[in-house]
Amino acid sequence: MRSLFRVQDGLLLLLALIGALAIITLMLHVVADVALRNAVNSPIPATYEIVTHYYMIALAFIPLAWVERGGGMVQVEVIEPLLGPRALEWSDRMVALVSTVIYGALAWVTWQTALKNYDTGVFVLAQNTRVPTWPAYFLVPLGFGLAALVTAIRMIVPKQESAK
């Protein structure tokens, strides 16, 4: 079990690094764009398109697994105080099962969309320049897939056991 948690924590560390890199790159890109626009009246082409189609997608979907690992997404707390330890564990596993199925379905559907967009070479036009956007579509199933993995692990080993 420990090796499973080590792999999970390694993946989550990788996600945290990717997220940090996305935030830093976003800030540098936008600051450079604003500085160049104001200083020499020459903004960086396609900044808006890159920010909305790459950075924001990464910042929205990559952290899902990290948030799930911390238990910050789906929780059933309405009747939780009334449950005993065994019923609480059962409830946690059921929530994890439902979350895994939903994340898995979302990962599958968005993977199909990403493949379709890859095949067609989806892009946007920015100042008569093609900006390919199909690579960003692969970030969405990555985020959902890793969130499904985290909730599947939580289904197998509930929070109480993984905290030990």
Which letter, b or e, does each residue of 148-160 get, where b requires 16 or more Cβ atoms within 10 Å of its Cβ?
bbbbbbbbebbee
**Over residues 8-12, mean pLDDT:** 82
Helix locations, the chain, DSSP H: 2-40, 47-50, 56-61, 64-69, 85-120, 139-156, 159-162
- Across 82-87, average pLDDT: 84
Residue 131: enclosing H or E segment and its boundaries? strand 129-132
The count of domains in the chain is 1
Q: What is the pLDDT of residues 33-71, one digit of tens each?
A: 999 999 999 999 899 999 999 999 988 888 888 888 777
Residue 48 to residues 8, 30, 53, 146, Cα–Cα distance (Å): 34, 9, 8, 28
pLDDT at 81: 78
Q: Which of 17-26, 93-102, 114-123 has the highest mean pLDDT?
A: 114-123
State the pTM of this model: 0.82
Residue 100: CB partners within 8 Å, gap ≥ 6?
Answer: 148, 151, 152, 155
* Cα 25 to Cα 30: distance, rounded to the nearest angstrom: 8
Task: Domain of residue 105: give its range.
Answer: 2-162
Terminal-to-terminal C-alpha distance of the chain: 11
